Amino acid sequence: MAAQYNGDSENGLKLPQVKFTKLFINGEFVDSVSGKTFETIDPRTGETITRVAEAVKEDIDLAVKAAREAFDNGIWPRMSGYERGRIMCKFADLIEENKEELALLESWDSGKVLSFVRLRDVRSVAKTLRYYAGAADKIHGETMKMGGELQGYTLKEPIGVVGQIIPWNYPLVMFFMKVSPALAAGCTIVIKPAEQTPLTALFVADLSKQAGIPPGVLNVVPGFGQTAGAAISSHMEIDKVAFTGSTEVGRLILQASGSSNLKPVSLELGGKSPLIICDDADLDMAVDLARLAVFTNKGEICVAGSRVFVQEGIYDEFVKRSAEKAKSWVVGDPFDPNVLQGPQVDKKQFNKILSYIEHGKREGATLLTGGKPWGEKGYYVEPTIFTDVEEDMLIAKDEIFGPVMSLMKFKTIEEAIQKANNTRYGLAAGIVTNNLNIANTVSRSIRAGVIWINCYFAFDDDIPFGGYKMSGIGRDLGLQALENYLQIKSVVTPIYDSPWL
Ligand code: ADP
């Protein structure tokens, strides 16, 4: 097992003091009403990093009260979009000023590889904030020349108090994917980070205050799903809920809305995304993409390309090269700069992945590589590839959320499309081909929210992201996401005595 890099002076790396462990409500860090706390663990060892205040219903009520006051009577929804954007840009600057501490905290709490967090996650969240900051003063309605003696126009108004519930696989990225458009729209927010990864959300809560976001606008309430999460989704004073997480919990959130105040709900849920690799593909590129598509972030990715369909002409060679390449995928301490895959987020996730791997073996798939825990402690799983996978096997149907690739063979493009669509999910899909016609046909035929041609994980703030079928409702990112946090008011006035009517 690779050495742990806690305070390792050789690499100049020192784990930070955890400064913020309380709930952030109305611009202050406060204890929970009950005084209860819960532990957040280091997935490299299973040891406790620290304890964090635990929000339950009473705390959510306080956070909603603050957000309600900030929305109904506060300055944030009423100030100019330009001014909101300016404060959001300051928030982004502060993230960049604190990027190293944020990256270390994120990696420590989640097991994500530090070099990726530094390079991608922390940089991208500052960018996301600035993207929506730039949109804050460009929110316009329309003017309508109506049929009768009337003139109408629309106003786009912030939807109100927003509840946001996010998962643990990309804690910072998810936080800013949700709060940035809501802030730009002029909403006020109660956000619950996942119980596994509360630390960076609390850290950035402090930065939001330093940036000048007024009290009550952004409230951060760590806690568990069935208590804090459920209190948000069923709250009568919350005007909208945005959620990213499992399809099972997405269903509960919709039900909670239905049985409370019918708040609109946007959901970004699970996936079982196909990656189709055609005979004409550049084989080395395809092998690299397939590996990236499912082993990145230890497979804890909703868009993981976990079903890899390879055309029969290159299938055997693809299998051979994939097995070789898997050997160079370095598992180990996420603070080690040579490592590509850290530990799974917690024991529950670790056990779940291993039990899917056992299922795959029992169902008759061939284990090409991996299949076991890695190391002596912590929640590491070897990168695992199954071949001879059949469509009706559990490993080909369920979202595993771990580093497990299922390889399947196809003959014709029609067959690949049919197999790719044979899933209840529809989040993402990839196609590797040099044939434009095949790329276009597949793109139009796959029922998924994003199609990547000769690439994977090609996210951008400008590109809407979300699912078809049971992968969700609505879109994050892009200007589209602003609409989640706006509603349209129509204003009509009569026009009398106009000679032009
Ligand atoms: P996973 O199963 O991958 O942990 P979940 O969908 O359970 O993903 O978790 C995503 C987020 O949803 C977390 O913040 C979690 O606390 C929250 N959550 C879990 N259960 C509920 C629930 N019943 N109501 C609201 N939120 C929930």
Identify the bridge partners of residue 274 per DSSP, sorted by sequence position: 307
Is 90 exceeded by the pLDDT of residue 4? no
Q: What is the pLDDT of residues 101-151, one digit of tens each?
A: 999 999 999 999 999 999 999 999 999 999 999 999 999 999 998 887 888
Is 90 exceeded by the pLDDT of residue 7? no
Classify residue 89 as exposed, middle or buried by CB count within 10 Å of its CB (0-12, 13-18, 19+). middle
Kindly give the number of the ligand 1 atom that is closest to the alpha carbon of 249: 6
DSSP class of 483: G
Q: pLDDT confidence of 495, banded at 50, 70, 90?
A: confident
Is 90 exceeded by the pLDDT of residue 347? yes
Q: Best mutation site among 109, 165, 352 for ligand 1, i.e. most ligand atoms within 8 A of its Cβ?
A: 165
Query: Residue 304 Cα, ligand 1 centroid: separation in angstroms?
Result: 19
Q: What pLDDT was estimated at residue 477?
A: 98
Please give the domain boundaries of the chain with CATH numbers for all domains: 23-269+467-488 (3.40.605.10), 274-453 (3.40.309.10)
Is 70 exceeded by the pLDDT of residue 1? no
Query: Residue 272 Cα, ligand 1 centroid: separation in angstroms?
Result: 19
Identify the bridge partners of residue 472 per DSSP, sorted by sequence position: 268
Percent of the chain at pLDDT > 90 equals 94
Q: What is the pLDDT of residues 430-482, one digit of tens each?
A: 999 999 999 999 999 999 999 999 999 999 999 999 999 999 999 999 999 99
Name the helix (H) or strand (E) containing 265: strand 265-268
User: DSSP 3-state assignment of 350?
Assistant: helix
Q: How far apart are CA 41 and CA 216, in angstroms?
A: 29
Identify the bridge partners of residue 147 per DSSP, sorted by sequence position: none
Residue closest via CA to ligand 1's atom 21 equals 225
Residue closest via CA to ligand 1's atom 15 equals 225
Query: Would you name the residues annotated as active-site residues?
Result: 268, 302
Kindly give the number of the ligand 1 atom that is closest to the alpha carbon of 192: 14
Identify the bridge partners of residue 428 per DSSP, sorted by sequence position: 450
Kindly give the number of the ligand 1 atom that is closest to the alpha carbon of 232: 25
Q: What pLDDT was estimated at residue 153?
A: 96
Mean pLDDT, to the nearest integer, of 261-272? Answer: 98
Identify the bridge partners of residue 40 per DSSP, sorted by sequence position: 50
Q: What pLDDT was estimated at residue 12?
A: 60
Q: What pLDDT was estimated at residue 399?
A: 97
Query: Residue 285 Cα, ligand 1 centroid: separation in angstroms?
Result: 36
Q: How far apart are CA 374 and CA 384, in angstroms?
A: 11
Query: Residue 225 Cα, ligand 1 centroid: separation in angstroms?
Result: 5
CA distances to 50, 222, 276, 383 from 297, in Å: 23, 23, 21, 11
Residue closest via CA to ligand 1's atom 4 equals 167
Is 60 exceeded by the pLDDT of residue 3? no
Q: Which residue has the tokens 């990696």?
A: 107
Q: What pLDDT was estimated at residue 305?
A: 98
Q: What is the 3-state secondary structure (H, E, C) of 16-72?
A: CCCCCCCEEECCEEECCCCCCEEEEEECCCCEEEEEEECCCHHHHHHHHHHHHHHHH
Q: What is the pLDDT of residues 188-218, one digit of tens each?
A: 999 999 999 999 999 999 999 999 999 999 9
Is 90 exceeded by the pLDDT of residue 500? no
Q: What is the pLDDT of residues 318-328, one digit of tens each?
A: 999 999 999 89
Query: Residue 43 Cα, ligand 1 centroid: separation in angstroms?
Result: 19
Q: What pLDDT was estimated at residue 10?
A: 44
Q: What pLDDT was estimated at residue 501?
A: 52
Residue type present at position 130: R
Radius of gyration of the chain (CA): 24
Kindly give the number of the ligand 1 atom that is closest to the alpha carbon of 195: 16
Residue closest via CA to ligand 1's atom 13 equals 194
CB 283 within 8 A of CB 306: no
Q: What is the pLDDT of residues 358-386, one digit of tens each?
A: 999 999 999 999 999 999 999 999 999 99
Q: What pLDDT was estimated at residue 148?
A: 79
Q: Which residue has the tokens 């204890």?
A: 31
Mean pLDDT, to the nearest integer, of 311-340? Answer: 96
Kindly give the number of the ligand 1 atom that is closest to the alpha carbon of 224: 16
**Lining residues, ligand 1, CB within 6 Å:** 165-167, 192, 194-195, 224-226, 229-230, 233, 245-246, 249, 252-253
Q: How far apart are CA 445 and CA 280, in angstroms?
A: 19
Task: Supply angle C-alpha 332, 244, 127, rounded to 5.
Answer: 75
Q: Best mutation site among 248, 249, 255, 398 for ligand 1, i.e. most ligand atoms within 8 A of its Cβ?
A: 249
Q: What pLDDT was estimated at residue 14?
A: 87
Mean pLDDT, to the nearest integer, of 282-311? Answer: 97
Residue closest via CA to ligand 1's atom 27 equals 225
Q: What is the pLDDT of residues 9-35, one digit of tens each?
A: 345 678 999 999 999 999 999 999 999
Query: Residue 249 Cα, ligand 1 centroid: separation in angstroms?
Result: 6
Residue closest via CA to ligand 1's atom 14 equals 194
Classify residue 412 as exposed, middle or buried by CB count within 10 Å of its CB (0-12, 13-18, 19+). exposed
Average predicted confidence (pLDDT) for the chain:
96
Residue closest via CA to ligand 1's atom 2 equals 246
Q: What is the pLDDT of residues 126-135, one digit of tens each?
A: 999 999 999 9
Q: How many residues would you count in the chain? A: 501
Query: Residue 161 Cα, ligand 1 centroid: separation in angstroms?
Result: 20
Q: How far apart are CA 268 and CA 33, in angstroms?
A: 31
